[in-house]
Structure 1
Amino acid sequence: MTTATPGADLSQLDRRVVCLLGLPFDVLTLDETLQEVRDAIAQRRRCWLSTPNLNFLIAARQDPEFRRTVLHSELSVADGMPIVWLARLLGLPLRERVAGSDVFEALHHGNAARPVRAYFFGGPDGAAEAASRRINALGGGLHCVGFDSPGFGSLDSMSTDAVIERINATQPDFVVVSLGAKKGQAWIERNRHRLMAPVIGPLGAVVNFEAGTVRRAPPLWRRLGLEWLWRIMQEPALWRRYAGDARALLPMLWGSVLPLWWARVRRDRHASRLDTHLEAPAAGAVTLRLRGVCVAATVPALRQACKDALALSCDLRLDLQAVEELDAEAMGLLLLVQAHQQRLGRGCAITVASPLVRRRLRQHGCADLLKSL
């Protein structure tokens, strides 16, 4: 397993990520995501694949700990057409939906001589076993090496040494976690560094699709963004969740999406200068002062300045008093910086900000960065 020296690996900052209502989304197509997963397996490199949909987005706005787990993922892709539609409205470069079930399905068509070794953790009674048997009967690019159905136990009972050792003993390439969104993310956050599998993903519905207990929507329904309707037809109880998500989205549209859309319409696209100044560390923290605009065109300069600051291995203070704009791509990079510091137990805060930046942080769903340090 490839692991980085604590504090030394800044490669996560090279991801192209946009922030949408508080969550990071990698700008990747399905094929590119699939290649990232395959590369992680081949290189034995850790890759926590999160697949936020609208339900994730709503839950993350209400639950900071859940949001933190998405920030800590190595890949975070848009699993839901509402996410893609919102991104298009805001001019964000998310080109297509990347469903976790599509990623897993594509692995079926991989190299049969070296199949991806999958392990199912969770799911309804009997589903993981049925999925395992069906996958192994089909052959191809996937082989199921084990499964565990812990039921509705606590995180503690699902995280014992015996459980982790049982998973590791099968030497999986990909652990598919099916415990529900919040519990699955929390379980991965707790156990990811104890698991030897390079790829871990909370792909809840995959176990049911693979077991054949729930049918996926036909491709046309998926392309039209109607998979939610198909899912309700298959699992009627889901309508309550979808209705609740729609209600929760309405105030976000008014308070965040529309103001960000209007800011994009009015933005001077020729203003693309960003000056950075890194002060010498003092009292265990370094201050990075920015002047100009933090937008897509200036992200390369912002990325290098952040890398220089993080290389000093201390708390990071960001001074954005002289910043005149903060768009979703720059905000996405700042989320990666925040996640890097959190993983290492270090602080990261925007300690000084202009009124416009404060407003943008609230609209982006990232006001938690505004604090003293």
Structure 2
Amino acid sequence: MTSPGEWRAAAAAAPQVVDFQRDVVCLLGLPLDTVDLAGAVHAVRSAAFTNKTCMIATPNLNFLVGALDDPAFRDSVTHADMSLADGMPLVWLARLLGLPLRERVAGADLFEALDRHLGPPLSVFFFGGPDGAAQAACERVNASSRGLRCAGFDSPGFGSIAEMSGAERIARINASGAQFLVAALGAKKGQAWLEHNRAKLAVPVRCHLGAVVNFAAGTVRRAPRLLQRFGLEWLWRVVEEPSLWRRYAGDGAVLLRLLVTRVLPLALVRRPSHSALAAATVAVQLAGDTCTLTLTGAWARSNLQPLRQALAQAVDAGAPRLCCVLREVTHIDSAFVGLLTIAPRAFPLGMTLVDAPARVARHLRWHGAGYLMRPARGAHA
């Protein structure tokens, strides 16, 4: 288990850099980038070859369920530079809500696409997995891969985050010259380890891809494409790893509850008119350590550019705290909420949403972003 202290240390290490132009939507509290597999491959290779830090999260249903009552785990996803819809249940929910997710982009699919790429190979470092798996994955990649070259591996065992983050271990990863770090420590622990070492790692692209090490090592077979296409990969994994059935059963029960209490109510929300969207405004005011954004009107994916610019303006002004006043807001959608879920890490003293009308507040809770509505502590007049 990851201790609260380790999570706090991980959060404190995160740099305050946010791309407010990302096209993201919020699904039950987690931001998801509206990118397809080809776009994800391009983003990874671009970051790797320009040495630009790119933390990738791959939320699936288990991530979504785990983030509901674990704020630090949720933050590890909102802190990512790219968040990919790894599980078909997320894609189905997105389609039900009319969200513009193009396709499922599983972490294993991303790895396989990078492995097949015909361009200059990326160097990869495997960290974690069962005993011997990382070494086997490294040997198999170097024996057969076209798009990847293994620069090294490490099997840290089952210690704490701190024990897995010693200076010698991090130095060995950095000295490998790897461009892509694949961690496999279990979702929560892997995310926490990446957050904890964010500022120490020199590897530009980092991602927790738990099952990928086993797939690459050949110790676990991935489901046939037909089962993947119909969203039945979970059934294949239960056959391969029977201990997973309890997790899948529990996650499925939570999904049914969320479907009734949040997803279906959101699916019935009426869309705003073009005139309501055109009338939306955002005013920026700096006072002390706080930048206040006062929003009016209806907000949706089609009219977010003024808000994106206002958020960037607040960062450029050096304001450590952001307050968004929603008193006159009449409508929000998943893209509006998604943008606000990735914004807080740009402001060291935090971000709050205040004065939300009852209807807007209800929609924020349905989107899983009610946690953003905290007391403003005098942040606005």
- TM bin, normalised by shorter chain, reads over 0.9
Instruction: Note if 1:23 corresponds to 2:24.
Output: no
In structure 2, distance between residues paired with 1:334 and 1:366: 9
Of 67, 80, 92, which aligns to 1:73? 80
Q: 1:3: which partner in 2? A: none
- Larger deviation, residues 206-215 vs 267-276: 267-276
Of 334, 347, 352, which aligns to 1:349? 352
Count, aligned residues: 359
Q: 2:272 touches 2:331 (CA, 8 Å); kept in 1?
A: no
State the Cα distance separating 1:250 from its structure 2 match: 2.1
Instruction: Note if 1:300 corresponds to 2:309.
Output: no
Instruction: Note if 1:257 corresponds to 2:263.
Output: yes
- Larger deviation, residues 234-243 vs 270-279: 270-279
Q: 2:107: which partner in 1? A: 100
In structure 1, distance between residues paired with 2:108 and 2:96: 25
Instruction: Note if 1:282 corresponds to 2:287.
Output: yes
Q: 2:327 touches 2:354 (CA, 8 Å); kept in 1?
A: no
Q: 2:189: which partner in 1? A: 183
Of 260, 265, 272, which aligns to 1:268? 272
In structure 2, distance between residues paired with 1:108 and 1:257: 36
Task: Report the secondary structure of 1:205's partner residue.
Answer: helix
In structure 1, distance between residues paired with 2:135 and 2:201: 21
| TM-score normalized with structure 2 length | 0.92
Q: 2:361: which partner in 1? A: 358
Please tell me the residue identity of whatever aligns with 1:334. Answer: L
Task: Report the secondary structure of 1:163's partner residue.
Answer: helix
Please tell me the residue identity of whatever aligns with 1:358. Answer: A
Instruction: Note if 1:38 corresponds to 2:41.
Output: no
Deviations 1:277-316 (A, max 9, x none): 112x223112110010111222112212222223222111
Task: Report the secondary structure of 2:272's partner residue.
Answer: coil
Please tell me the residue identity of whatever aligns with 1:201. Answer: C
Instruction: Note if 1:313 corresponds to 2:330.
Output: no
In structure 1, distance between residues paired with 2:151 and 2:312: 40
| TM-score normalized with structure 1 length | 0.94
In structure 2, relative to structure 1, the CA distance for the partners of 1:321 and 1:284 (3 Å cut) is same
Q: 1:221: which partner in 2? A: 227
Q: 1:310 touches 1:316 (CA, 8 Å); kept in 2?
A: no
Please tell me the residue identity of whatever aligns with 2:361. Answer: R
Q: Which runs of at least 4 in structure 1 moved beyond 4 Å after TM superposition? A: none
State the Cα distance separating 1:95 from its structure 2 match: 1.5
Task: Report the secondary structure of 1:248's partner residue.
Answer: helix
Within 5 Å, give how 1:119-158 maps onto structure 2.
119-158=125-164
State the Cα distance separating 1:346 from its structure 2 match: 2.6
Task: Report the secondary structure of 1:49's partner residue.
Answer: strand
Q: 1:236: which partner in 2? A: 242
In structure 2, distance between residues paired with 1:277 and 1:283: 17
